[in-house]
Each structure stands twice: as C-alpha cells, then as structure tokens.
Chain A
Amino acid sequence: MSKEACIIKGTKHGLSILIPSELAFSEVLAQLRARLASAQEFFAGATVYVSTTDRELKPEEKQQLAQTVEAFGMVISEREVPEQSASAAEHKAGTMGEANEPAEDTLLVRRTIRSGQRIWYNGNVVVLGDVNPGAEIVCTGDILVLGCLRGVAHAGCNGNVNASVFAFRLEPTQLRIASYISRSPDEKLPRPLEPEIARICENVIQISAYQSS
C-alpha cells in the first residue's frame, strides 16, 4: 500500500485535488472514488481543479478522472490551479478560458421546485414553474425560471461570469453568478412587474428588465 495519497483541499475557487507523482494511476482513481463516496453530499456541486507535481497526465487519464469526478456530481475545470495572489482581475470575461463558454446541455424541469429541493446540473436549467424560498438551483450555465424565482439561484457555478439568471418574477432570497453573491435589499421593494434578467456587469450583479432584442 503506497504511503502517498491524493490530497483534496478546499480553495476559494473550488476543490483542488493534488495527485502525487509516484502513485499508480489506477490507485489514484481508487483512492478518489473512496474519498468522494464517503462524503458525497459535501462534495456535490463543487468545481474541481486537478494539479500534479512532476507528472503529466495522459489524455485518457484526464478523461477517466473527469468521469470519476462527474459521477459524484462535481465539475472538473480545465484551468490550472490558480495562484494564491489571484485578484479580481481574473474574473473579467476572457481570461478564464473554457469556463466562460456558454454551456450546451439544458435541463428542463416541468414543475415547481419546493423548499428544501435542490437541482444541480452541468449545463443550463429551465424551470417551467416557480422556485420557492428554500429551494436551490445550481448549474454551470444559465438559469431561466418561467415563473417566480423566490429561492437561491447560482448560475455559472464553475466560474462562468457570462452566465445569467432570468425569471418572470425575479424575487430571489440570494442570487449567485460565478463567485459573486448578491442578496435582495432589506427594505421591502414592490414586486417586479415584468420579466427581469441578472448578469454580471462591471464586477457586480445587475438586474435589468428583459428585452428580447
């Protein structure tokens, strides 16, 4: 039994998995599966960065890693583990590579999401119904709610700052896009009368009336 083990660390950008250079790849996969299975709820929905020391991963090894990680509900990111001195400038559109591309797969949910229910998806999510307070939608792409969004929506959870959140009535308890978090103001605002869309603009989440043009 090799003494070396994969190290899983939490960083502000997501989970970082460090693969030691001497460990056989099959052993790496086995260890990962065991660790992830033991704390599935904790890891689900996380973004994962893989880094190695003095070791080049073959394409099929990268593929197997991605499959293992995704089987536990996580998203693997192609990016290198970011430096500790990463600044807000990194979040500007364009410097993040693949993470900022629009997601292709879309999940269509044909019911109201109730309090305590959570939808996680690697792609966009469209809800034909309401999202009640206490419910959560987390995805890597856009979120569209064809109803009232009253819960928590996290779009672009893998770091995609181009993701947006749309709803017929945008009244979320919290809105998250990539690593930006925004909450509804404390004073009670009049209910929105028209569909609205939330996007990141100038480093802050901005909500504007939706115009289809």
Chain B
Amino acid sequence: MGKSIVVTSGKGGVGKTTAAANIGTGLAQIGRRVCLVDADIGLRNLDVVMGLENRIVYDLIDVVEGNCRIRSALIKDKRLENLFLLPAAQTREKDAVSPEQMQVLIEDLKKEFDYVLVDCPAGIEQGFKNAIAGADVAIIVTTPEVSAVRDADRIVGLLEASELYDPQLIINRIRPDMVRKGDMMTTEDIIDILAIKLLGIVPDDESIIVSTNRGEPSVLDKKSLSGQAFRNIVRRLEGASVPFMPIEERSVVKRLLRMFNNVSGRS
C-alpha cells in the first residue's frame, strides 16, 4: 500500500505544481512507482509542467463520473516508465468532484503505486478540501514572503483541523543575496512562525522558468541548483538524512570574481 502526499500552500504561485512535478519525477528516478494527481480542476497545470498536455484523453472527472477506468485516464510519463499522471479537467469546475470521491480515488491509486502525489490548488475552499481528502501526509510550500507565510500558517491550522498532523515545509525561491542583505525573510524567521519540520530549501533559479516551459522538470537536469535541492528533498522523503544546501553561490567563477573584486578594492 503506497503513501499519498498532498502538496499545498494556501497562497498561489509559490511553487506547488513545480514541487509536485519535481518530487514525483525525482522519486520515479530512484525507482519508485509514482502517480501524480492534478487536483486543480479548471486550472490544470501539472500536465503542462510535465510536458504531457497533448496526451490527455480522459481526466480525473471522467474517472470520478464513471466515464472510464482509472487505467485509461493515467498518462505514462514520456521519460520514466514508472511515473504516471492523472490530469485534471480543464472545462469543469472544482465542485465537479467531492472530497468523498477523491478519497475513494486516492485509496484505489495507493494500491498500485508507492507514492501518490496530489497537486493542490491555491485557496482554502472546495478545491483544497478535495485535494486533502485522501492524503496521508502534507507538504506545505511557501516562499520567504510575509504574505505567503501568513497563508501557510492558515493552512497548517486547517490541516490540523482535518487531522493531517505534522506537515513538512519546503521554502521555495529563496534568494541568498537578498537574505544576506536582510531584505528577505530567513529560514529561521519562517520556522519561528510556522513551527513545522523543514523538508527542503529550494533556491530561486531561472532554469525553472525554462524547464517549466519546456515541460522538463529541473530535477532531471544535473547542473540545476533547484534540481539538486529537489533531489535532496526526494532523498529526505525516503528517509535519508541530507544536509541542507548552503545558501550561497556555488559557481566557481562567481566566487573568483568576488575575490577579485575584494582584492582590487571594489565592494
């Protein structure tokens, strides 16, 4: 019997879909059977981020309404054979499915897969309630911004009310230069308010924009810093103890340039 994880945040645009896609792909890369479920009915994005949008025939609503079997709706990933996607419907709305139906669906999927990752929509209404319905554990994604942390805190409270305890946190899009200057919240500031276990820190990375548009999750790119962060998150989910990436530039050239600037007297 597999494990179902919901990736949620409250605030929109913080990186839930990116995180779900990358973590799912990363888990499949190390050999696990993974099913990604897009619970954002009406505004589906997970298929785009995975590069599978032109392969969609049936979707989650078709399954729930009995128009097809789950197997027909699942789309196999184009790169990894143990990774599947259950897409959302784009022409329907969030009330097209109920939490009870989602729970049954996720239970069925857990029988076939090691991990079922549910991409939750933004907000706290019906879409959110649907997405958390079948989940065993929750991952909360936030960015280092006051408004995102405020919404994440609300989500922690709502998850606890639904008996989803001990969510884990991913801090996404952290910018080391801004943290150093004091312009951005630090990891400690965020954990101080949210008080949940930290699963990973993902640096702000331009390559995410490129990989999203191409439909190739950055976890597949060995040179990507954000990809490395997601690979670490995958290992931590599997139980390994991985130190957090240091929040500074890894590029040797940049470090040399900084040294050169210091020596010649420039700041």
Query: Do chains A and B stick together as partners?
Result: yes
How many A-B residue contacts, CB cutoff 8 Å? 28
**Which single member of B154, B192, B193, B195 contacts A116 (CB below 8 Å)?**
B154
Q: Which residue of A lies closest to B161 (CB)?
A: A117
Q: Which residues of chain A come closer than 8 Å to B154, judged between CB atoms?
A: 114-116, 134
Q: How many A residues face the partner with a CB closer than 8 A?
A: 11
B150 CB-CB contact with A under 8 Å? yes
Chain B proximity mask over A145-183: 1 for CB below 8 Å, otherwise 0: 000101000000000000000000000000000000000
Interface size class on chain B is 10 to 19
Chain A proximity mask over B138-153: 1 for CB below 8 Å, otherwise 0: 0000000000001101
The answer to whether B157 and A114 have CB atoms under 8 Å apart is yes
B82 to chain A minimum Cβ distance, whole angstroms, is 37
The answer to whether B150 and A117 have CB atoms under 8 Å apart is no
In Å, the complex CA distance between A49 and B217 comes to 62
Q: Which residues of chain A come closer than 8 Å to B193, judged between CB atoms?
A: 130, 132-133, 150
B165 to chain A minimum Cβ distance, whole angstroms, is 12
In Å, the complex CA distance between A112 and B193 comes to 10
In Å, the complex CA distance between A130 and B150 comes to 14
In Å, the complex CA distance between A54 and B154 comes to 50
Interface residues of A in 119-134 (CB under 8 A from B): 130, 132-134
The answer to whether A112 and B158 have CB atoms under 8 Å apart is no
A61 to chain B minimum Cβ distance, whole angstroms, is 39
The answer to whether A115 and B150 have CB atoms under 8 Å apart is yes
Q: Which residue of A lies closest to B153 (CB)?
A: A115
B89 to chain A minimum Cβ distance, whole angstroms, is 29
The answer to whether B195 and A134 have CB atoms under 8 Å apart is no
In Å, the complex CA distance between A132 and B100 comes to 32
B14 to chain A minimum Cβ distance, whole angstroms, is 16
**Which single member of A112, A133, A148 contacts B150 (CB below 8 Å)?**
A133
Q: Which residues of chain A come closer than 8 Å to B151, judged between CB atoms?
A: 115
Interface residues of A in 68-114 (CB under 8 A from B): 112, 114
In Å, the complex CA distance between A54 and B151 comes to 52
Q: Which residue of A lies closest to B158 (CB)?
A: A116
A-B contact pairs, 24 of them (CB 8 A): A112-B195, A114-B153, A114-B154, A114-B156, A114-B157, A114-B160, A115-B150, A115-B151, A115-B153, A115-B154, A115-B157, A116-B153, A116-B154, A116-B158, A117-B157, A130-B193, A130-B195, A132-B153, A133-B150, A133-B193, A134-B150, A134-B153, A134-B154, A150-B193
Q: Which residues of B contact A (CB under 8 A)?
A: 150-151, 153-154, 156-158, 160, 192-193, 195
Q: Which residues of A contact B (CB under 8 A)?
A: 112, 114-117, 130, 132-134, 148, 150
Lowest 8 CB-CB distances: which A-B pairs, in order?
Answer: A114-B157, A115-B153, A115-B154, A116-B154, A132-B153, A114-B153, A117-B157, A115-B150
Other contacts beyond A114-B156, A114-B160: 20, CB < 8 A: A112-B195, A114-B153, A114-B154, A114-B157, A115-B150, A115-B151, A115-B154, A116-B153, A116-B154, A116-B157, A130-B193, A130-B195, A132-B153, A133-B150, A133-B153, A133-B193, A134-B150, A134-B153, A134-B154, A148-B192
